Amino acid sequence: MAGAVPFGATGANEGASLVRLAHYPFLPEVRDAVRQAGPDLPTLLASPLYQGARTRARQRIEGALGEGFAAATILDERTALLELLSIPVARMAVVLLADATLIKRYAAAEAARARATLARDPDLEALPRAAAALGIPIEATEQGFRLHFSDYIRLAPTHNPEWKLIRRTVAAGFLLLAPAELARLCEEALARRITDELEAERGKPLPPEAKSALAPLMASLEPQLEEARANWSSGDFGPVQPQLFPPCIKEIFESLKRNENVPHHGRFAFATFLHTVGWNSEQILDYLSSTPNFDREKSRYQIEHVSGAKSVQAYTPPGCGTMQTNGVCPLAKRDNLCVRIKHPLSYYRSQLRQQQRDQERAAALAAATPNGPPGPPSAPSPPSDKVVTR
């Protein structure tokens, strides 16, 4: 492993190598290096010598629960080893916490950390080496990194307009990437790899000794996960309020009422949206029952399929880009909020927040006015005829 050593590392050659590897734990040579220099699993999980690794593992997960974590300061072979050893500990803990969102967030945090390091690495070989390790077949040319467009669309965050393929010059199947762009694709590839690996691990039981050795760490992490879950808020939307739905969902319902043929993608978006904001299939069916030609049994089958009751997975509603590609987005009916969001759920979430702010303001106003409107000022009643309690 020749080349510049970042972050002022010193030491013997193997030391330098381990120090280098500590920043890029996904490189294939890490496994052997750690196996050679590191302890066995019981020692890692219990010995006071490796307390540093366990503390860093907790930092990694706490970072994943919140805003991510920073790169460690690697001074020597010892800190490098602790950094590398913290990763298997963190991964075991994430698997034990058994939360799909946490897995995604953990993978994203690890990948973001790796990209930040890659972006600052003065070693010109670091980026192509990372790309190769992550299965991104690039070719370094004078104009930039050359990549096949299929790999680009496989990895690029194309929901972001900046990354649309049409913004690239695609010539004979290939396009060119700047170093920062390749680093971003590395981040995507790494996040996916970690997610896939941890999802696969979830099915395998951990040895009981390891489990009990991890117990103290778990005890400190579990309440934090609980708290973080409440903030992620993806699950709980409160009572369903149809008047706050985005224009696309309203439009589909109007089409259904007008007895127009709603294409498959529209019905899919509709059912998955209603399911995600908290209705069960019976409630969706009740909602649909005012539409003409309503066939309860047929609709039930379809809804239960997308909501996970009859199939393996529950589907989430498609984002705005997909809705537009599929022709489900009523382009002309988009409003000011639509242009700021990328997902129908974000629209609904944003509307809910706005409503809450309005209500708080109204409440504050009512409290401040001595002869305010009658009724409990702290809880102005929402338009109750539109609300379904879950």
Partner 1 sequence: MSPDGPSVTSVAGPAAAPKPDKIPQPTEFPPAVAKTIDWLQVEFAKWYRKNPPPMPDRFTRREFGYILWPERPGPPPFLRHRAYEDADKFHWYLQKAGPHSVYYSTAYYRRPGEMKMVDKQWLGAELIFDLDADHLVEAEKAKAEGHEMPLAEQLALVKTQFKRLLDDFLFGDFGLSEDDVWITFSGGRGYHAHVTESRLMQLDSKARREVVDYITGKVPTERGTETPDLSTFIHEAVVDADSFQGRTKKVTRESMAPATAPGWPGRLTRTLVGELRKNVLEADAKDARKWLTSLEGVGDTRAKTFLAKFDERMLERIARGNIDQGQTVRSIVYHVLQQQTIPMAKGETDEPVTADIKRLIRLPGSLHGKSGLKVVTLRREQLDAFDPFVDAVAFPMDETRTITPRNDQEMTLGGQRVAVKKGEAAQVPLPHAVFWLARQGGTIVLPKV
The one-letter amino acid code at 195 reads T
Q: Which of 6, 38, 263, 382 binds partner 1 (CB under 8 A)?
A: 263
Verify binding: residue 144, partner 1, rule CB under 8 A. no
Part of the chain binding partner 1 (CB under 8 A), chosen from 37-45, 89-97, 112-120, 287-295:
287-295
Part of the chain binding partner 1 (CB under 8 A), chosen from 22-30, 44-52, 92-100, 382-390:
382-390
Those residues with Cβ within 8 angstroms of residue 375's Cβ, 6 or more apart along the chain or in another chain:
381
Verify binding: residue 148, partner 1, rule CB under 8 A. yes
Q: Which of 135, 235, 327, 375 binds partner 1 (CB under 8 A)?
A: 327
CA distance 18 to 37: 9
Residue number, 314 or 364, with CB nearest to partner 1: 314
Q: Which of 31, 120, 167, 353 binds partner 1 (CB under 8 A)?
A: 167
Number of residues that bind partner 1 (CB under 8 A): 59
Those residues with Cβ within 8 angstroms of residue 130's Cβ, 6 or more apart along the chain or in another chain:
24, 26, 27, 114, 118, 183, 186
CB 189 within 8 A of CB 127: no
Verify binding: residue 7, partner 1, rule CB under 8 A. no
Question: Is residue 345 classed exposed, middle or buried when 0-12, 13-18 and 19+ CB atoms within 10 A define those classes?
Answer: buried
Verify binding: residue 172, partner 1, rule CB under 8 A. yes
Verify binding: residue 143, partner 1, rule CB under 8 A. no
Q: Which of 230, 312, 368, 379 binds partner 1 (CB under 8 A)?
A: 312
Verify binding: residue 333, partner 1, rule CB under 8 A. no
Verify binding: residue 231, partner 1, rule CB under 8 A. no
**Strands of the sheet with 174-177, listed across from one edge:** 139-140, 145-148, 174-177
Residue number, 170 or 215, with CB nearest to partner 1: 170
CA distance 156 to 152: 6
CB of 64 to partner 1, least distance (A): 24
Part of the chain binding partner 1 (CB under 8 A), chosen from 14-22, 222-230, 283-291, 365-373:
283-291
Q: How far is CA 115 from CA 121, 203, 288, 365, in A?
A: 10, 29, 47, 48
Q: Which of 164, 333, 353, 361 binds partner 1 (CB under 8 A)?
A: 164
Verify binding: residue 42, partner 1, rule CB under 8 A. no
Q: Token digits for 284?
A: 């969706």
CB of 263 to partner 1, least distance (A): 5
Verify binding: residue 31, partner 1, rule CB under 8 A. no
CB 88 within 8 A of CB 44: yes
Closest by CA position to 101, among listed 58, 64, 68: 64
Part of the chain binding partner 1 (CB under 8 A), chosen from 123-131, 181-189, 228-236, 285-293:
285-293
Kindly write down the DSSP assignment for every residue of 205-244, as one continuous string. PPPHHHHHHHHHHHHHHHHHHHHHHHHH-SS---SB-GGG
Verify binding: residue 340, partner 1, rule CB under 8 A. yes
CB of 301 to partner 1, least distance (A): 13
The one-letter amino acid code at 354 reads Q
Verify binding: residue 325, partner 1, rule CB under 8 A. yes
Q: Which of residues 176-205 bind partner 1 (CB under 8 A)?
A: none
Q: Token digits for 213?
A: 């050795």
Q: Radius of gyration of the chain from Cα atoms?
A: 26
Question: Is residue 54 classed exposed, middle or buried when 0-12, 13-18 and 19+ CB atoms within 10 A define those classes?
Answer: buried
Part of the chain binding partner 1 (CB under 8 A), chosen from 17-25, 74-82, 122-130, 261-269:
261-269
Question: Within 10 A of 389 (CB to CB), how many other CB atoms are there?
Answer: 8
Per the DSSP assignment, residues forming a β-bridge with 139 are 146
Chain contacts with partner 1 (rule: CB under 8 A): 148-151, 153-154, 158, 161-162, 164-174, 242-243, 245, 250, 253-254, 263-266, 282-283, 285-287, 289-294, 311-313, 321-322, 324-328, 331, 339-340, 384-386, 388-389
